[in-house]
Structure 1
Amino acid sequence: MLRIAICDDQPKELAIINEHITEYLDTHTLEAEVRSFSHPDQLLTAIESESFHLYILDIVMPMVSGIELGKEIRRLDREAQIIYATTEPQFALQAYAASPINYLVKPVEKQTLFDTLTLAISKADLAEEQTFAVKTADSLRVIKLSEILCCEYSNHAVLFWLSNGEKVQSRTIRENFTEYTSLILKDRHFLQCHTSFVVNLRRVERFAKDSFTLCDGKMIPIAVKQYAAVRDTYMDYLMARRRSDD
């Protein structure tokens, strides 16, 4: 399901954007979850444990500007779509540090917003809502692939590092690590870079010859013998993402 977050400290503006989005969704018969945030801190807290496909942000807000908010969203999620809607046109150049899909000046013209929403939704990766069932020692846990930072094989079990800081450990597995994670690896965002690690490329902040660094600072090793293949796969992934953004 499409997930949209709106952040604006002005209640009237927040309501207007919300009404426009509701009308757009009804007109296009789209199902979506729309969350409204009246303070950037509320959204920052939310994205510590959940993600959205599309963010609509004001720029001039208390404590944290929309530009800084957009940069933090982009740090955590390279592929989320960001739209700025603000009364201040002079921040347009600075705003592009967060790679927004558009910069709209209030009062937002409804059709312009609708056209931007159409473009943003066409680029949104809704496939991230796929899940993976993990049998733990005492239960069955269903995890969204988008929440997985990486998977680590250790002592015949798999440890799932999640975006909210949680760790979920599987019970002892009989198959090898690659076989166990085969369904995850079918998703283009995931790559096995080491005998014991699968990484979510969406969560990569830095790539080096011997490791990936994730958005939470965790370092994932790259096997020496796999470096060339890992590098080529990651470069292909980045190129495909850039093409989708054009």
Structure 2
Amino acid sequence: MNIAICDDDSLELGRITSFIEAYRCERNASVAYKSFQSATELISQAEKRAFGLILLDIMMPGVDGMEAAKEIRIFDTGVKIVFLTSSPEFAVESYAVKAYDYILKPVPKDKLFSVLDAVIADEHIPLEGFTVKT
């Protein structure tokens, strides 16, 4: 799974990437990631490259995370977006962009791991048990 991580705070970005590295090792997961410090950079790359998951800060200078999510939804309706933010005030608005989850900072490692587990499980849904009516 390809993950995009976008946060203007380099310390937080480093923290999240270290959690993803730990997740990859502990779960032996096939996970690749790319880090971005601006939403504009993220949007540009997301148009060219498929990400399965975007971990996105909301409060950033210039284009904020919520606006970035709206832009990304125009060309990618399937990517899972998880907001990582220090404020609960945008939680309701996150439903408008069909956010997969909303995690308050500081991001707990176990919470991020459980979200990654859920996203990976969602991508491997067996087709057994589904009925297609024609």
Q: Is 1:60–1:66's contact at 8 Å kept on the other side of the alignment? A: yes
The 5 A counterparts of 1:157-236 are: none
Contact 1:83 1:100 in 2 (8 A): yes
Q: Distance in 1 between matches of 2:103 and 2:51?
A: 20
Deviation at 1:49, TM superposition (A): 1.4
Contact conserved, 1:81 with 1:124, CA < 8 A, in 2?
A: no
TM-score (norm 2): 0.88
Q: Which residue is equivalent to 1:25? A: 24
What is the CA distance between 1:67 and its match in structure 2? 0.7
2: CA distance, partners of 1:85 / 1:16: 12
Please state how far the C-alpha of 1:48 moved relative to its aligned partner.
Answer: 2.1
Give the SS at the match of 1:35.
strand
Report SS of the residue matched to 1:48: helix
Gaps of 5+ in 2: 125-131
> Is 1:55 the equivalent of 2:49?
no
Over residues 178-231 of structure 1, what are the superposed CA-to-partner deviations in whole Å (9 max), with x where a residue is unaligned? Answer: xxxxxxxxxxxxxxxxxxxxxxxxxxxxxxxxxxxxxxxxxxxxxxxxxxxxxx
* Aligned equivalents of 2:99, 2:123: Cα separation in 1: 13
Q: Pairwise mapping of residues 229-244 of structure 1 onto structure 2 (< 5 A)?
A: none
Instruction: For residue 47 of structure 2, give the secondary structure of its aligned residue in structure 1.
Output: coil
**Match in the other structure for 2:43:** 44
Counterpart residue type for residue 76 of structure 2? D
Q: Partners in 1 of 2:83 and 2:39 — Cα distance?
A: 13
| Aligned partner letter, 1:77 | D
Report the 3-state secondary structure (helix = DSSP H, G, I; strand = E; otherwise coil) of the residue aligned with 1:69.
helix
Aligned-partner residue type, residue 108 of structure 1: V
What is the match of residue 69 of structure 1? 68
For 2:23, the aligned partner's letter is Y
Could you state the TM-score of these two structures normalised by the residue count of structure 1? 0.49
Higher normalized strand content (fraction of residues): 1
Q: How many residues are paired up?
A: 126
Match of 1:16 in 2: 15
Greater relative contact order, per chain length (Cα 8 Å cut-off, separation 6+) = 2
The alpha-carbon deviation at position 75 of structure 1 amounts to: 1.9
CA distance in 1, matches of 2:110, 2:86: 17
SS of match in other structure, 1:47: helix
What do you get for the CA RMSD once the two structures are aligned?
A: 1.6
- C-alpha separation between the residues in 2 aligned to 1:15 and 1:124? 26
Distance 2:123 2:59 in 1: 26
| Contact map agreement 1:55 1:81 (CA 8 A) in 2 | yes
The answer as to 2:105 corresponding to 1:106 is: yes
Structure 1: how far apart are the matches of 2:7 and 2:19? 14
CA deviation map 1:145-174 (0-9, x unaligned)? xxxxxxxxxxxxxxxxxxxxxxxxxxxxxx
* Match of residue 93 from structure 2: 94
Paired residues of 1:11 and 1:38 also in contact (CA < 8 A): yes
Q: Which residue number corresponds to residue 129 of structure 2?
A: none
Which amino acid letter does the alignment assign opposite residue 123 of structure 1? Answer: D
- Name the one with the larger helix percent: 2
| Deviation by residue 1:82-105 (Cα, 9 ceiling, x = unmatched) | 111100111111112111111000
| Higher-Rg member (1/2) | 1
Unpaired runs of 5+ in structure 1?
A: 126-232, 237-246
| AA at the equivalent of 2:81 | I
